[in-house]
Amino acid sequence: MAGTALKNKKREKAVGGSVVPFLDRVDEVTVLQNLDKNSTRQLIEKRLRFNRVEGKFEDQPLIPFTEDFVDFIYDSTMGNPRGVLERCEPVLDEGTRVKEPLLTLEFASKILEERGF
């Protein structure tokens, strides 16, 4: 019986198994181009304005940030949108937790290093 299950797994892997119908329904992959520094700043600001508790955007960022914070995020991601968001999340989460008054290069680099970025 174990041999049959193993054969089925190998067959599923070779032909795609139950994933094939899903993949047939998925549109083409969209690839986002890297952002320039100004667009990166806008993405950071938009992310930092989103209040996840209330599910809405605030008028101001939840925590203000410095230009060196933007430079650090931009330089470490080369403007890759996913990378920008992946780095902003832990910095914002920790900044909110410890009530950090201002997101800076120093604060961000410390948090991201602790988190393995």
| 22 band by pLDDT with thresholds 50, 70 and 90 | low
Which range has the worst mean pLDDT, 4-18, 39-53, 103-117?
A: 4-18
E strands in 5-95:
50-51, 56-57
Please report whether residue 44 resides in a domain.
Answer: yes
pTM of the shown model: 0.69
Give the separation between CA 26 and CA 117, rounded to whole angstroms: 31
Please report whether residue 51 resides in a domain.
Answer: yes
Q: Give per-residue pLDDT as tens, 50-89.
A: 988 899 999 998 899 999 999 999 999 999 999 999 999 9
Greatest extent of the chain over all pairs of C-alpha atoms, in Å: 63
**Span 10-37, average pLDDT:** 69
Which range has the worst mean pLDDT, 6-15, 17-26, 59-68, 100-109?
A: 6-15
Number of domains in the chain: 1
DSSP line for 42-67? HHHHHHHHEETTTTEE-SS-SS-B-H
- Directed axis angle between helix 37-49 and helix 67-77, to 10°? 110
Cβ-contact 90, 115 below 8 angstroms: yes
Q: What percent of the chain has pLDDT over 90?
A: 63
Cβ-contact 81, 43 below 8 angstroms: yes
Question: Environment class of residue 40 by beta-carbon count within 10 Å: exposed (0-12), middle (13-18) or buried (19+)?
Answer: buried
Average pLDDT, the chain: 85
Please report whether residue 54 resides in a domain.
Answer: yes
For residue 109, give its domain range.
37-114
Please report whether residue 9 resides in a domain.
Answer: no
